[in-house]
């Protein structure tokens, strides 16, 4: 296999070349540029690449071999020694010489990167994605439209996919829109970041649900905006508390998850939805509606987005990451034309455009009905897993967790008995191979709730049973005073 050329700076006049080569190779090994066991080019090849005499290379290699940095294997070549001598102290640090502002807190939502750990994450089951159909769509796009699809394109996204999304939103969510009303982003997180960059600046206030989705808050506040938490109860965000806050200060934007509130899964009542729209018009703030898992509602009538009532004050965000897979990085924003123009301008600053091939392939899957069929299959599957998890929790943790079965979504929100120390329980569960999301990752202050968001979408029947039983076994280690 061909490899890249190792660059070394040899300068005639700065001392013997064999010493420069010796020092350069030793530094490359010590710095990790040449890993233990790496094979060096032959002496003739290396001499030709470096523009030196072969004897220069042979002398440097001989000295490095004598020092223990290299080793020669008969009929195989010269390699970086597997057992290296003690490295000299580095001449420079790997950190920057300039000060860094405080960084974001660690992301406590992410489960460990260990397939052996069972995670109660509310991410979709990627094993169920129609991979064969997806691969065929990619091949077709590359075969028919490769040159165009791989070139620069509309920063709003592929028009065919925007039209397919507009049709889906009009049909299933009551949004009377067309392709020109849609901006495709790399996941909903990019959409949130673009909104923050385009609409919010230093000192602006964005109201959020006190229990909520912290990555969204960080994206919206990245430009210096201030987060104002609003309480959440069994009816969703407390709109009257928001109204009182609006009377005290100038709210620039409000971010909500009304369909299945994150993390509690409750739905915002109809009265609060209308009141929220009235407040947006009265106080002139942007209402950012994140409809992240609209497709997965199992019980009762469908709930249309707030944007379906009045689109003027609403910036509507959705994603296909929950429908298909997070790695596809496909989200969308629907907003009034002047807002979309600003978002597109910001998008050009950081990303230029999305994945032309992937977006065209996804548009073909919509046209074939593959996405629609996949949604129907997954809705049935997640419905069964929700019911199974609810039954297991009642059977094994009925005295520890109090919860209502959600009407939809991909997780159950459960309040924890005060007799249980949630941090100790989580640590004991992880020791038994089960990961729980920290409640501290869901609040905009320092007072996390005694609750758990238990995602079930990725846990199949037997796996779900094992995970709940492990939680029950770890519970005794989490009792206060235990």
Provide the percentage of residues in the chain whose pLDDT is more than 70. 94
Cα 134 to Cα 370: distance, rounded to the nearest angstrom? 9
- Summarize the confidence of residues 319-327 as an average pLDDT: 87
Predicted confidence (pLDDT) per residue in 389-437, tens digit:
999 999 999 999 999 999 999 999 999 999 999 999 999 999 999 999 9
In our burial notation (b when 16+ CB lie closer than 10 A, e otherwise), range 86-97 reads eeeeeeeeeeee
pLDDT attached to residue 75: 82
Alpha helices in 11-124 (DSSP H): 17-30, 43-50, 54-66
Q: Which of 10-14, 169-173, 318-322 has the lowest mean pLDDT?
A: 10-14
- Summarize the confidence of residues 57-80 as an average pLDDT: 89
Q: Which of 59-63, 97-101, 388-392 has the lowest mean pLDDT?
A: 97-101
Polymer length of the chain: 482
Cα 317 to Cα 334: distance, rounded to the nearest angstrom? 7
Summary mean pLDDT of the chain: 90
pTM of the model: 0.82
Q: 401: helix, coil or strand?
A: strand
Please check the confidence at residue 4 and state whether its pLDDT lies above 80: no
Cα 161 to Cα 448: distance, rounded to the nearest angstrom? 40
Q: Are 321 and 291 in contact (CB under 8 A)?
A: no
Predicted confidence (pLDDT) per residue in 339-375, tens digit:
999 999 999 999 888 888 899 999 999 999 999 999 9
Tokens of 47: 């001499």
Cα 246 to Cα 459: distance, rounded to the nearest angstrom? 42
Query: Could you check whether the bond before residue 263 is cis, i.e. omega within 30 degrees of 0?
Result: yes
Q: At what angle do helices 17-30 and 54-66 cross, to 10 degrees?
A: 50
Tokens of 349: 């600053």
List, in order of start, the domains of the chain with CATH numbers: 17-80 (1.10.10.10), 118-127+373-478 (3.90.1150.10), 129-369 (3.40.640.10)
pLDDT attached to residue 353: 86
pLDDT attached to residue 2: 45
Q: Are 120 and 453 in contact (CB under 8 A)?
A: yes
Q: How many helices (H) and strands (E) does the chain have?
A: 14, 16
pLDDT attached to residue 259: 95
pLDDT attached to residue 160: 95
Cα 304 to Cα 126: distance, rounded to the nearest angstrom? 27
**Residues whose CB is less than 8 angstroms from the CB of residue 142 and which lie 6 or more positions away in sequence, other chains included:** 149, 357
Give the residue among 233, 254, 235, 234 at the shortest CA–CA distance from 243: 254
Q: Are 185 and 348 in contact (CB under 8 A)?
A: no
Burial class (CB in 10 A: 0-12, 13-18, 19+), 82: exposed
Predicted confidence (pLDDT) per residue in 169-217, tens digit:
999 999 999 999 999 999 999 999 999 999 999 999 999 999 999 999 9
Angle at 153 between CA 184 and CA 356, to 5 degrees: 60
Element holding 318 (H helix, E strand):
strand 314-319
Confidence at 469, pLDDT banded by 50, 70, 90: very high
What's the alpha-carbon Rg for the chain, to the nearest Å? 28
Cα 179 to Cα 87: distance, rounded to the nearest angstrom? 60
pLDDT attached to residue 174: 93
Q: 452: helix, coil or strand?
A: strand
Please check the confidence at residue 1 and state whether its pLDDT lies above 50: no
Give the residue among 83, 55, 47, 90 at the shortest CA–CA distance from 67: 83
């Amino acid at each position: 296999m061909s490899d890249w050329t190792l660059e070394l700076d040899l300068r005639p006049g700065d001392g013997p070349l064999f010493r420069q080569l010796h020092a350069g190779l030793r530094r490359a090994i010590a710095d990790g540029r040449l890993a233990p066991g790496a094979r060096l080019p032959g002496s003739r090849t290396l001499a030709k690449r470096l523009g030196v005499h072969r004897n220069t290379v042979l002398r440097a290699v001989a000295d490095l071999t004598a020092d223990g940095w290299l080793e020669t294997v008969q009929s195989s070549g010269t390699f970086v020694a597997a057992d290296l001598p003690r490295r000299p102290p580095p001449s420079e640090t790997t950190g920057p010489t300039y000060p860094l502002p405080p960084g974001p807190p660690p992301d406590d939502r992410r489960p460990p990167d260990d397939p052996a750990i069972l995670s109660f994450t509310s991410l979709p089951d990627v094993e169920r994605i129609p991979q064969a159909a997806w691969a065929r769509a990619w091949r077709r796009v590359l075969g028919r439209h490769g040159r165009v699809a791989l070139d620069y394109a509309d920063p709003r996204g592929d028009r065919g996919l925007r039209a397919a999304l507009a049709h889906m939103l009009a049909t299933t969510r009551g949004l009377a829109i067309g392709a020109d009303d849609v901006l495709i982003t790399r996941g909903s997180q990019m959409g949130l970041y673009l909104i923050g960059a385009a609409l919010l600046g230093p000192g602006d206030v964005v109201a959020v649900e006190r229990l909520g989705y912290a990555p969204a808050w960080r994206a919206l506040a990245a430009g210096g905006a201030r987060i104002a938490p609003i309480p959440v109860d069994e009816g969703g965000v407390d709109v009257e508390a928001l109204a009182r806050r609006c009377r005290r200060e100038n709210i620039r934007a409000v971010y909500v998850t009304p369909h299945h509130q994150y993390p509690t899964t409750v739905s915002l009542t109809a009265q609060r939805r209308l009141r929220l729209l009235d407040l947006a018009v009265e106080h002139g703030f942007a209402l950012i509606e994140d409809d992240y898992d609209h497709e997965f509602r199992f019980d009762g009538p469908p709930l249309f987005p707030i944007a379906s009532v009045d689109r003027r004050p609403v910036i509507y965000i959705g994603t296909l990451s929950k429908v298909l897979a997070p790695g596809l990085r496909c989200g969308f924003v629907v907003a009034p034309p002047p807002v979309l123009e600003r978002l597109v301008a910001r998008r050009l600053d950081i990303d230029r455009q999305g994945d032309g091939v992937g977006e065209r392939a996804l548009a073909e899957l919509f046209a074939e009905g593959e996405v629609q069929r996949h949604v129907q299959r997954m809705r049935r599957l997640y419905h069964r897993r929700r019911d199974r998890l609810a039954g297991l929790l009642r059977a094994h943790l009925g005295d520890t967790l109090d919860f209502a079965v959600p009407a939809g979504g991909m997780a159950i929100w459960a309040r924890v008995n005060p007799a249980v120390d949630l941090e100790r329980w989580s640590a004991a569960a992880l020791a038994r191979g089960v990961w729980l999301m920290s409640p501290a990752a869901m609040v905009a202050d320092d007072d996390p709730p005694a609750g758990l968001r238990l995602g079930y979408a990725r846990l199949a029947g037997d796996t779900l049973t094992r995970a709940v039983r492990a939680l029950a076994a770890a519970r005794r280690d989490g009792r206060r005073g235990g």
